[in-house]
Structure formats: structure tokens, C-alpha cells
Amino acid sequence: MQTFTLSEEFITLGQLIKMLGLIATGGEIKFYLIEHGIRVNGELENRRGRKLYAKDVVEIEGETPIEITA
């Protein structure tokens, strides 16, 4: 499992995916979410603005799960 350390209180799902280099621009996130199965704490998620906090686990189809840390 990978870890991602927060520099603020939270990060949005869209920001995380962009920071991981899975998309080049923020405009691509809507289509990325439609095409890929993404789970946050085991629940299917399709909102780019979903706030992620410490201890959340993000699973992106085809990628290693990511644990958010503070």
C-alpha cells in the first residue's frame, strides 16, 4: 500500500488523482472517474470533490491502494 501525506486538513479526490500523475489536467478528472472504478474506504466514489482525510484509503482500478496520512 502506498501512502500520501497531507499538507493541509484534506485533499479532494480530483486533486489527489492529478498529483499522482494519473491525469494531466483537472479537466480530465470527470472522464477519469467515469472510466475507472474508484473506491474510498470500500465504497464506490465518483465525486471529484470528495474530501479525503487522514486514514482514508483510496483504491483506484489498476493501481496500488493509497492510504492518506497526516
Report the alpha-carbon distance of residue 33 to residue 49 in Å, rounded. Answer: 11
How many whole angstroms separate alpha carbon 42 and alpha carbon 48?
16
Q: Which sign, positive or negative, has the C-alpha torsion 42, 54, 64, 38? A: positive
Domain CATH number, residue 11 = 3.10.290.10
Q: Which domain holds residue 40?
A: 2-69
* Residue 59 pLDDT exceeds 90: yes
Q: What percent of the chain has pLDDT over 70?
A: 100
| 27 — pLDDT class (breaks 50, 70, 90) | confident
Q: What's the mean pLDDT when you consider all of the chain? A: 94
Tell me the pTM: 0.90
Residue linked to cell 486533486: 15
Share of the chain above pLDDT 90, in %: 89
Domain count, the chain: 1
Look at residue 26 and tell me whether its pLDDT is greater than 90: no
